[in-house]
Structure formats: structure tokens, C-alpha cells
Amino acid sequence: MNLFKLTDIPYLDHKELSSKRGIPSLTFYDEETWHIWVQTPDGLIKIDGYPAEGTYFSKNPVTENDVYLEFFNFLGQKALRKEILKPVHGIQDDIMNICASLKKISLLYQLSKDKSLDVSRMVITELEYLINVCRSIFDLLQEIISELWETVTLNNPNIKKKKLNDKFRKMVIENEEILKPSIIQERFSIPEILANFYHDYAEFFQILRKYRDNLVHHGSSLEFIFTTERGFAVRDSVKPFSLFKVWNEKHKLPNSLASLRVPVAYMVFKTLSACEHFATSIQKCIVFPNEIVPNYKLLLRMSHGNELMKLKKIIDDSLWLDE
């Protein structure tokens, strides 16, 4: 059995290796071949195979279900540390589960064509799960932000760096009121671009938080789901979905029924956009180390990743499940 060291792996920039930096994956796809190293008690060994799930480095996605997100690429290439491993893996798992849940809703629509089956309660269960997991992603994201901020050294010694709260709510809301960007910036001594990031997602987060708390702590439940030939529907006044203001009037059915697919897609899209927006924003105001795997991207492999690729079109065109 041949044993390897990290410096034997040609894809890694050996100058960037250090005890403080994490490596998100030792799986690489290059020239139509998988190259996989795994850790053993004796050292690294190279194995044959391919990943069923997880992360890998490649120049392009290998399948339609493999997803590129700047959030994971930034963290994996430039900012991964042991302090953020748990929340990073948590968001990774949540995204995989979100994709599976979106796929289940599509499968339930197919089952609903059998009129002897009532799947509405199953759909409600998925919706409540999605609201809960999207809400939780914001706190996992904030854990990552607060830990990364601890590693930042400010150029101006006259500015005293402040510890960030590890709860997203406490960064953007006070007495149930959304804080202005200027207040966020001053209170936490963060760059303007980061203060704007927080403010941009505060209203959406507040909606998620309120309805997640109602579901989990106050025994509330989502209102009745209608099963139509075009897909699942709710009345266009039902909260929290009506608060997203994403329905297109011409795509509504009679009796003010609107496609449930659209606000669900928006909820997931907006949550992932928060992660993406953070990754692009912080790189504009903070200098991070060089990429640990130059000329490659970190991609996320999962079973139903193509569900994420559909989100923007679903929102833009107010699509039903039959479209």
C-alpha cells in the first residue's frame, strides 16, 4: 500500500498549506478521471471510485446535479478553519436536504393525480420543514461570519474591532425593528459593504423567523393546501408566502389561487442568495489567502442538485408544477 502526504498531491498549492487552514476535499476530477485520497491512521492512500455525495474539486460540474456555489468555493479555497467546520457542514447538509424536499414536492404532485390519495398533509409537512431549515441556515451563516471576523486584522489600529454576535437576529433586529445599515456598521464596527449585506436580508429573515417561531413554539400550522391539475396552490393572501410578493397575476387560477411552487422557490433562492452575497461582499473588503487548489472550483455533489438550477426560472415565470 502506497502512502501519500499532502505535498504529494499535485492539485494542492503546497505553499498555501498550513496547520491553520482546512482542506475541504481530497477528491479531484481531472481529464475525465477521478483522483481520490482518503485519510488513514498511517497516512493518505489513493483509492479508485467516485463520490456519491459531498464536495470535490473540478474545472466544471461533472453531472447536472453537481452545484457550484461561490459561498462554498470561497470558504473551501480561502477561509476554511476548524472553528467553522461544523456550521459549514451544517449548511452543506441543509442544502442537500432542501433539494431532496423540493424533489419530494414534485413527486407528491405526481402522486396527487391519483384522486384516491390525499397528499396535502404531506406537502404541508415539507413546507414546514423548508421554513425551519431556511431559518436555521441564517444562524449557521452567522456562526461562520462571527468566527471569520475573529481572524481579521484591521489595517487601521485606531479602530477597535468588536466581537460579532453569533445570532443573525441580534445583528439586524432590535425590539422587532430592523436596524438601518448605518447603525449596524457603527454598532459592530464592520465595513459598510457588510452592513449593507445584513440590512438587505433583514426583512426576509424577519419573515422566516416569525413564521418559524409560530410553527415551532406557538403550535401554528400552515393553512390548507389546494391540489389542482396544475400543481399545489394556496390563496394569494396566505402568509408568509404572500409577503414575498412574487406571484404573477396572469398565472393565478380563479378564486385567487396561486402556485405554491413560486414562493417556495423564492424562499430557497433568497436563503442561498444570502450565503452567496456574503461570500462576494466579504472578499471585497477583506484580503484572504490565495486559493488552496488553484484553477479549480469546489463543487457540491448531491442527488437532486438540479432542483436549485430551476429556482430562478420558477420565480421569474411564476411556474406551476406542470410547467
Question: How do residues 37-72 score in pLDDT, each as one tens digit?
Answer: 999 999 999 999 999 999 999 999 999 999 999 999
Closest to 200 (Cα-Cα) out of 146, 270, 139? 270
- pLDDT on residue 267: 98
- pLDDT on residue 220: 66
- pLDDT on residue 251: 86
- pLDDT on residue 262: 97
Please give the single-letter amino acid code of residue 42.
D
Closest to 173 (Cα-Cα) out of 187, 161, 152? 187
Q: How many CA atoms lie within 13 A of 139 on its CB side?
A: 10
Task: List the domain boundaries for the chain.
Answer: 6-317
- pLDDT on residue 270: 98
Query: For 43, phi and psi rounded to 5 degrees?
Result: 145, -170
- pLDDT on residue 250: 84
- pLDDT on residue 32: 96
Burial bucket for residue 16 (CB in 10 Å: 0-12, 13-18, 19+): middle
Closest to 171 (Cα-Cα) out of 208, 196, 134, 137? 196
- pLDDT on residue 218: 54
Alpha carbons 128 and 150: distance in angstroms, whole number: 34
Burial bucket for residue 23 (CB in 10 Å: 0-12, 13-18, 19+): middle
- pLDDT on residue 222: 75
Quote the pTM value. Answer: 0.94
Closest to 278 (Cα-Cα) out of 171, 175, 157? 171
Mean pLDDT, each 10-residue run in order, the chain (323 residues): 88 94 97 96 94 97 97 98 96 98 97 90 93 96 97 77 94 97 96 96 96 73 86 93 92 92 98 98 93 98 96 95 90
Alpha carbons 274 and 115: distance in angstroms, whole number: 39
Please give the single-letter amino acid code of residue 309.
M
- pLDDT on residue 53: 95
4 with 43: CB under 8 angstroms? yes
- pLDDT on residue 217: 63
Would you give the DSSP letter of residue 40?
E
DSSP state letters, 291-302: PSSTT-EEEEE-
